[in-house]
Amino acid sequence: MDLPSKPAASHSVYNMMRCASSTYPPGPYCWVDPMGKKDYQLKTHHLKRLVTHVEKGGVLDGHKDVPETVCEELYMEEQQRQGKNNRKGGHVTGNGAPYPAININFLPSQSSASAAAQVSADFQSMQSPGPLEIPGPRDEAVKEYGKWQVSNVTDDTLKAAFREICDMMIDNGLDLEQVYKDQDPEFFIKKGIKIGIARRFVEDIRRWVGNVKRAIPIYDII
């Protein structure tokens, strides 16, 4: 991999993201998903974005601090790689990317303009939140998700905030599928929830369903 120069301010980024595995020669950098424990190869453009994130004052103390936009990009690139390897065109499931594969078939009569429009429409569809299917009672799913969020912080104030947002959902008759579909953290922010807590609660739902709920049993957080 032809890496950019390493100024002192960004040296820690390269050390942090250096991959201990030899799975991706000659690319020695990777991101390990803290939830699914799956590693994703970091290319030059990913590293540049992480360096910019740090140079602008962002925190990168571990793999859990990788910005959500970079994580989503890695998920999508992994999905595209898996799609190319799937010659039958089926969907890929498991610990991989949370998005379904996109198969675009153009008829010979389609013009370039209509083909471009189709690509744009399918891309927008991929970017928009798709429906989730969470088995079991909806209120129990809210509680499970809240416990998982609590388990990812150590500060008692933050733990209390995640519990508060769960109680707020149940009091308002909301479930995770509705909240994920709306993508509206402002609803909780207006009710006094801290911005970071509200955003994290909304943004992490699909990752929890795809990578955590299937693999980790229910547990209680004191």
- Highest-pLDDT range among 57-66, 104-113, 120-129, 153-162: 153-162
Confidence band for 156, pLDDT divided at 50, 70 and 90: very high
pLDDT digits (tens, 9 = 90+) for 170-184: 999 999 888 888 888
CA separation for the pair 138, 136 (Å, rounded): 6
Q: Report the pLDDT value the prediction gives residue 44, as an integer from 0 to 100.
A: 84
Which one, of 176, 174, 177, 197, lies nearest residue 185 by Cα? 197
Please state the pTM of the whole predicted model: 0.42
State the average pLDDT over residues 132-155: 88
The residues pairing with 94 across neighbouring beta strands, listed in sequence order, are: none
CB atoms within 10 A of CB 200: 19
Read off the pLDDT band of 220 (50, 70, 90): very low
**In the structure, what pLDDT confidence band is assigned to residue 95 with cuts at 50, 70 and 90?**
very low
Structural tokens at position 57: 């004052």
Does position 69 have pLDDT exceeding 70, yes or no?
yes
